[in-house]
Amino acid sequence: MSDDQSAATHSDALLREVAALPTLPGVYRYFDADNQLLYVGKAISLKKRVSSYFQKDHGGTRIGHMVSKIVRMETTVVRSEAEALLLENNLIKTLSPKYNILFRDDKSYPYLKMTGTPSVPKHAVPAEPATPSRLPQPVEFARVSYYRGGVEKKHRYFGPYPSAWAVKEAILLMQKVFRLRTCEDSVFSNRTRPCLLFQIKRCSAPCVGHINALDYAQDVANAERFLRGEAQDVMRGLEARMMAHAERLEFEQAAELRNQVAALSNVLHQQSVDNVSDRDVDILAVKVQGGKACVNLAMVRGGRHLGDRPYFPVHVEDATLMGGADDSEAKKSVEAQVLEAFLSQHYIDVPMPGVLVVSEPVSKGLLQALSEQTGIKVTAVHQPREQRRAWLDMAQTNAALQLARLLAEEGSQQARTRALVEVLDLVLEDLDALRIECFDISHTAGEATQASCVVYQNHKMQNSEYRRFNIEGITGGDDYAAMRQVLTRRYSKLAEALREAKHLGIAPSGTARMPDLVLVDGGKGQVAMAREVFESLGLDLSLIVGVEKGEGRKVGLEELVFADGRDKVYLGADSAALMLVAYIRDEAHRFAITGMRAARAKVRIGGGKLEEIPGIGPKRRAKLLQRFGGVRGVALASAQDIASVEGISRELADEIYRALH
């Protein structure tokens, strides 16, 4: 836009602020009239970069539409381009501005966790076999397990892995080759004989003294070296120990090592461990098509390709147009902008290797920033050769496949959304903004009643906005009362906020928005209950739609029931609108069922915490678990059976039985 156009659109105060900006590196943030964050950007020169938005004629483009909304800005001066880049992407990730390429937070990465003795003692003496007076202690024998969450220094973590499946495969490998234990410490401490894993040669049974602490620690050390990529060294060490035992005529020990060498050799053959110098590498490939993008991240750890995971950013079109406001950014391809956005945001709180193999060139400034952030020198290889080229080709193929799948799914979902809007005659400016909330009630014969609320928006389920409601103070099995309670709890505060905004003559805030459709799983009865709630709250009855089961409760015969008096509608088994309604309804049912089962299990077994029962301490708990094989076994036992455990009186057994039932 010209200077005259900018002056007509923006306040003098804002334009003076732009003119007074320094020629220093920094980060800028644009806000609209509702104080909503529009865009976060970085600049080597704040004055030059920000001025470009207000001095150029963007016409009727989407960037021009965004610039016209700017009423306020904030800037932060930093010392270098690297600092600006880090601050920019921290703000993008935490504030989710509308016009930035944004990678949503995914679940944290899983790890393989090892507890216990970290390595073989230098001058260790083999431990004596376990005796009743000297039982093995869990802390002496490392346990391998699946782990997701924050890491602790007292344990060792290997990964991250791209999926839970990859971790479980690694754990199985630790069992097959090194026979490390996977049992909980409470189980380990209460074993009197080996479990099935010992019988099938997946554990060396340290719990009952079938292996001493030194030999087990040697297996742990070999497992750690294998996970770090030293598989061939581990193989050579095992072979040397096997030959040493054979020379001393210790054939039983030599046979054990022979079996371990064979198992390791078989694993190396099956898993195709790459004989390359790279130990830890991330491979990143970008594919952009149809306004959507996919970044496929493949992980190599310890020289082993662990698998990959796709990421789909939002705001790709808007963000790349915004980048075009600056000549240096405009020269970058869309793929390069998406890749740099991923690198900047993804590695804020995820460990990263020192080598990246990438499908697009990465700026030196970004690599410098990543190096400063991680404390290790980060290098990026854009046009790799040999094994790295094979890895990148595989990642690029997967990125293309994942993006094609996404586009196909989104196309069908958009068609279903449009079909539902047309069937219900909904008035919407933006189809993407259609918001549906669906409610379902679940219980077992009135026990542990729960209600679920699931949300559909932007043509997909919004898992982060799902809610469960514990229903209390009603007669067990009264689904109508449960529906009244959940709808009242969900919408009473929202209705109050809408009334207050109307009274003050202002637009409601972005959070005070009713859904465009409220689905309830049920027919006339549930719809009538929803109608009562909405009438009492002063809300629009036309929003309520019930999903009534058809004849014989067969799928595809459902009918829609309306609270505002409209006639019922049968959409037809092949209707795209009905497919969407059924999809949302089934997701609400699934979410309610899982919550109800968890609540019911907690009620039935006291949350699994025997210690909460008066008179049960660690020793009695251990004896109960050992006798019955776990909390659930205790819950299934009769009071008489519980009383047969040493140290449990009949009175205490009755108390335990009552608490668990």
pLDDT in tens, 598-653: 655 554 444 445 666 777 877 787 778 777 766 667 777 788 878 888 888 888 88
Q: What is the CA radius of gyration of the chain?
A: 31
Least confidently predicted of 98-107, 193-202, 354-363, 390-399: 98-107
pLDDT digits (tens, 9 = 90+) for 66-77: 888 889 999 999
CA-based nearest residue to 28, from 52, 53, 51, 46 = 46
Between residues 274 and 545, which one has the greater pLDDT? 545
Domains of the chain, first to last: 3-80 (3.40.1440.10), 110-271 (no CATH), 281-404 (3.30.420), 431-602 (3.30.420.340), 605-660 (1.10.150.20)
CA–chain centroid gap for 464, Å, is 10
Q: What is the pLDDT of residue 320?
A: 56
pLDDT higher than threshold 90 for residue 356: yes
Least confidently predicted of 40-49, 294-303, 356-365, 495-504: 495-504
User: What is the Cα–Cα distance from 660 to 58, expressed in whole angstroms?
Assistant: 69
Cα angle for residues 180, 182, 184 (degrees, 5° grid): 135
CA-based nearest residue to 397, from 305, 294, 529 = 294
Please, how many CA atoms are within 13 Å of residue 189, restricted to the half-sphere of its CB? 14
CA-based nearest residue to 274, from 300, 255, 294 = 300
pTM comes to 0.60
Do residues 323 and 305 lie in contact, with contact meaning Cβ atoms separated by under 8 Å? no
Between residues 430 and 481, which one has the greater pLDDT? 481
Long-range Cβ contact pairs of 504-512 (< 8 A, separation 24 or more): 507/34, 509/34, 510/34, 510/36
Q: What is the pLDDT of residue 7?
A: 47
CA-based nearest residue to 63, from 54, 71, 72, 51 = 54
Least confidently predicted of 53-67, 233-247, 590-604: 590-604
Do residues 100 and 319 lie in contact, with contact meaning Cβ atoms separated by under 8 Å? yes
pLDDT digits (tens, 9 = 90+) for 427-478: 777 788 899 999 998 876 666 688 889 999 988 899 888 998 888 888 777 8
Between residues 323 and 155, which one has the greater pLDDT? 155
Q: Across residues 146-150, what is the average pLDDT?
A: 80
Residue at 584: amino acid letter: I
pLDDT digits (tens, 9 = 90+) for 524-574: 889 999 999 999 999 988 889 998 887 656 666 788 889 888 888 887 777
Torsion of CA 141, 146, 151, 156, to 10 degrees: 30
pLDDT mean across residues, the chain: 79
Beta strand 281-289 pairing with 355-358: parallel
Three-state secondary structure readout of 372-434: HHHCCCCEEECCCCHHHHHHHHHHHHHHHHHHHHHHHHHHHHHHHHHHHHHHHCCCCCCHHHC
User: What is the Cα–Cα distance from 592 to 471, expressed in whole angstroms?
Assistant: 12
Report, in this order, helix, strand and coil percent for the chain, each rounded to 5.
Answer: 50, 15, 35
